[in-house]
A and B are shown apart, each in its own frame.
Chain A
Amino acid sequence: METTVQQSITLERMVHLFESNRQVLASNDTALLSEIRDKAFILFGKLGFPDTKMEAWRHTDLKDSLERGYDYYLHPLPEEDVQKVFRCNIPHLDTAIIGQLNGWYVSKEVPLMELGNGIIMGSLAEAKKKYPALVDKYYSRATGDTAEVFTAMNTAFAQDGIFIYVPAGVKSTKPVQLINVIHHYENLFLQSRNLIVIGDNASLSLVHCDDSYNQQASFSNIVTEIFLGENAFLDHYKLQNLNNNSTLISTVYFQLEAAANLESHYLSLNGGLLRNNIRVLFNGTHGNADIYGLYLMDRRQHIDNHVFVDHASPDCTSNEIFKGILDENAHGVFNGHVLVRRNSTGTDARQTNKNILLTDTARVNSKPFLEIYNDDVKCSHGSTTGQLDSEALFYLRQRGIGEESARMLLMFAFANEIVGKIAIPQLRQRIEDMVKKRLQGELQICEQCVLHCSTPEQPVEFKIDMSKI
């Protein structure tokens, strides 16, 4: 049985859904995965949905999002207009593209691509059948015992998602672009699960987009586990451009073995309620994680970045820089938690959160937090929230630059610290243009814009070229 009746997301509904469809949910599971699923269901039942009395959800109220009615499907919807849906294209970017529609892997003809160099990518449901030992080895290992309700619910319910495996020593030459588009004519609740394994000395560049096709409300609970082997490298981009009625809970677990290097970029350009849970575990020495975030929010949009970095091994470095511009009634939350454990000598950890509020009604709750059980560490954290610098505004205007242009230059400069860290030139150009267009939203005068977009005719949306799929 499956529900197509629009219902709120409640514990009762989900318990009923699980109990009446356990066979369907677990149809591709190995014995181990099935066991993990059952355990997660029990944990989910114990935890229940959060409210704002819980510290981790104090500033993010999910009540309205959960109470809306949503369809939930236990199989992929027909894909009659996939061509139209995948508009996400970064011009001139030569990528391998993996499409996901409403959380389900798209290309049914080739459920799993096996490339010459040993890279496997495609549907996680298919990978469970074809590479059970490989999936068993990693699945739910990074999530561990995390008592986090959305992870538990995802583990209990997720049926499909993306699987990527880069064997040891393989350097992936092309960036992989993973695009999850939400497209449905009714409100939709979806859960998907991604598993990405990068072997020792291997490297991958991954562009992960969350996009929506229309203005229909949605609730997405997406969990991604990413394993970086010894000395592995991942250049990771999370692009979020969803409609104003969408709720996205995105949880990514990064597990880094010795000397692994992670560069992660969270670029949140639009969305109704976005919650990014970012969890980094240093499972070996000399790892490095740079995590950058940029969020541009207006109207009643809500963005919540929760970053937890677990320095569980010595001599690792982490650097978080999150920057946001909030307009109108937007609300930003930053919660950065760095844990330096007792034996983790030689730790170097930095956290920065900077916000610009453009109105009196925009809000930010920022909480950088260091928890240190060791003396031999270098740690710093800082948080600033304020308006545009009036000295700088005067300086720009004194040179003849109009006030609105001056504001835009300053906002773009603020955002560009993060955009400038994008290593893929074509992607950087694209994001630069998107940020410029997004910032113009405040001004609505494209012709007079001083920021010189390279593609002024294109509307702001992620686009994909279907011919590459």
Chain B
Amino acid sequence: MLLSIKNLHASVQGKEILNGVNLEVNRGEVHAIMGPNGTGKSTLASVIAGREVFEMTSGEILYKGKNLQKLSVEERAREGIFLGFQYPVEIPGVSITNFMRTAVNEIRKYKGLDALSASEFIKMMEEKKKLVEITSNLTNRSVNEGFSGGEKKKNEIFQMAMLEPMLAILDETDSGLDIDALRIVANGVNKLRRPDNAFVVITHYQRLLDYIIPDYVHVLFEGKIVKSGGKELALELEERGYDWIKKEQVE
């Protein structure tokens, strides 16, 4: 098992957002987490990534059998957890090249590997750019600065390709994308799928799941996963909306 979340409770500034999430993700799987706005989807992603503003009040998260709570944000990342941001942050003055070179080499150092030479690194960047179909010269620009919504999301996928995570959580990577950008993002994910890694795709819409076929679909509602199923659950949600799930909960 790659990720095992048991009875996870988490709050931000004293307000409980997650109240008892259970989720198990195995290597080689793609999970989709769906649900209406404000039910804790992004919070779940942030808690797994270790963002300090979210407080884990009870439960446990095991990743590769290790208790994640003891690891810092960067240690989790070096262990292979990647978070694709819903709103990628603009960082003026830091070039994507320097950003990625630093990240790749810090992760390599953590694993006891030598730093990549400049030429090895550039070669790697070119390969990954091709993989995620980035044709423009994003790499010499400051991280996300002045990028369009689509460019920012493609840049997230590019970074994911560079860092080769074991567990990638994509937080509404599809939001604000036109159909071409959506296809590029989805293709990137599909090309990076391997038997030993896993993806958790957070999305509002079925649309993305036409391109990234999930093994499991979960519905997160009021801080809990209330329904799980196969890919057909996503279609049902698309057709019927979330109201019937809300009703089921009340009953």
Contacts and interface: CB of A to CB of B under 8 A. Distances in A.
A399 B163 contact: yes
Given A410-B94, A413-B91, A413-B93, A400 B110 contact: yes
B91 A394 contact: no
Contacts of A410: 91, 94
B227 interface: no
A412 B98 CA distance: 12
Contacts of B51: 394
B106 interface: yes
A42 B48 CA distance: 72
B93 A412 contact: yes
Contacts of B56: none
B103 A413 contact: no
B21 interface: no
Nearest to B92: A413
Interface stretch (A51-59, A145-153, A401-409): A401-409
B88 A402 contact: no
Contacts of A396: 91, 94, 99, 103
Interface in A22-50: none
B57 interface: no
Interface in B49-86: 49, 51, 72-74, 77-78, 82-83, 85
A417 B82 CA distance: 30
Given A398-B83, A413-B94, A414-B93, A405 B106 contact: yes
Contacts of B88: 395
B1 interface: no
A400 B163 contact: yes
A397 B72 contact: yes
A109 interface: no
A416 B72 contact: no
Nearest to B102: A450
A390 to B, nearest CB: 8
Contact of B93 (A391, A416, A450): A416
A347 B102 CA distance: 44
A392 interface: yes
A143 to B, nearest CB: 37
A410 B159 CA distance: 18
B74 A403 contact: yes
Contacts of B107: 400
A403 B102 CA distance: 12
Nearest to B108: A400
From A400, A405, A406, A417, residue with most partner B Cβ within 10 Å: A400
B106 A400 contact: yes
Interface in B97-119: 98-100, 102-103, 106-107, 110
B85 A400 contact: no
A394 B99 CA distance: 13
A175 B193 CA distance: 56
Contacts of A391: 89
Interface of B: 49, 51, 72-74, 77-78, 82-83, 85, 88-89, 91-94, 98-100, 102-103, 106-107, 110, 142, 159, 163
Interface of A: 389, 391-392, 394-403, 405-406, 409-410, 412-414, 416-417, 420, 450
Given A399-B77, A409-B98, 14 more contacts: A389-B91, A394-B51, A395-B85, A396-B91, A396-B94, A396-B99, A398-B74, A400-B74, A401-B103, A409-B102, A410-B94, A412-B93, A412-B94, A416-B93
19 contacts: A394-B73, A395-B91, A396-B91, A397-B74, A397-B77, A398-B73, A398-B82, A399-B99, A399-B100, A399-B103, A400-B106, A400-B163, A401-B99, A409-B98, A409-B102, A410-B91, A413-B91, A414-B93, A450-B106
